[in-house]
Amino acid sequence: MPRGRRPTRPPGASPGQRFYMISTLAQSYGIHQQTLRMYEREGLLKPSRSEGNTRLYTDEDMKRLETILSLSRDLGVNLAGIDVILKLRAQIEQMQKEMNEFVAWVREEMKQGAREGFAERLEQALVRLPPQGIVRVEPLTPPAAASEGASAVSPVSTASSSSD
């Protein structure tokens, strides 16, 4: 972890959160400060700002920077590719969070169903639909008969029996 002087905290920062100045971060990762500014300009990094407008990087920003540098240095991905990868990664994390919430909800419903009895809840959950008419498709007639006006599809009426 880089060590540097602690500047003024940004407004609304939690007490336990650590912040690093741009010079400390650049020195720790062996990159130029302009590189960090470029990453910010391109939207790859979003550092907080102090009241004096100094860029302040958090531990989360450092992890993101490590990902950016790994993609760039190790895999040769350009900045546009890095942007796409980071956005997709954020979408995947959001979808995973939503999926976990859904699974928790389903588990809670299953527990509640076990307590209340599935049959009663299932009866309330189903929606009854009226019977639908059936359409019979008859085979096409030979071309000679077709010219005489034979129809290929004829509706068949069904007697609806209601069991309600």
Flag whether 164 is in a domain.
Answer: no
Total number of domains in the chain: 2
Q: Choose between 99 and 110: higher pLDDT.
A: 99
pLDDT score of 91:
97
- How does 13-33 read in b/e, with b if 16+ C-beta sit within 10 Å? eeeeeebbbbebbbebeebee
Please, are residues 56 and 5 in contact by the beta-carbon 8 Å criterion? Answer: no
Regarding whether 87 and 66 lie in a shared domain, the answer is no
Regarding whether 58 and 91 lie in a shared domain, the answer is no
The two three-digit tokens of residue 1, written as one number: 């972890």
pTM for this one? 0.59
Q: Choose between 86 and 132: higher pLDDT.
A: 86
Domain extent at residue 72: 20-77
Flag whether 32 is in a domain.
Answer: yes
Which residues is 156 bridged to in the sheet?
134
Q: Going by C-beta distance under 8 Å and a sequence separation of 6 or more, which residues neighbour residue 19?
A: 6, 7, 9, 10, 13, 48, 56, 57, 58
Q: Choose between 139 and 55: higher pLDDT.
A: 55
Regarding whether 102 and 71 lie in a shared domain, the answer is no
Flag whether 105 is in a domain.
Answer: yes
For the chain, percent of residues with pLDDT exceeding 70 = 66
Q: Choose between 86 and 157: higher pLDDT.
A: 86
Regarding whether 27 and 64 lie in a shared domain, the answer is yes
With 70 as the cut, is the pLDDT of residue 65 above it?
Answer: yes
Rg of the chain on CA atoms, in Å: 33
pLDDT score of 66:
96
Flag whether 88 is in a domain.
Answer: yes
Flag whether 7 is in a domain.
Answer: no
Flag whether 73 is in a domain.
Answer: yes
Confidence of residue 1 (pLDDT cuts 50, 70, 90): very low
Regarding whether 46 and 63 lie in a shared domain, the answer is yes
Last residue of a domain, one of 39, 59, 77: 77
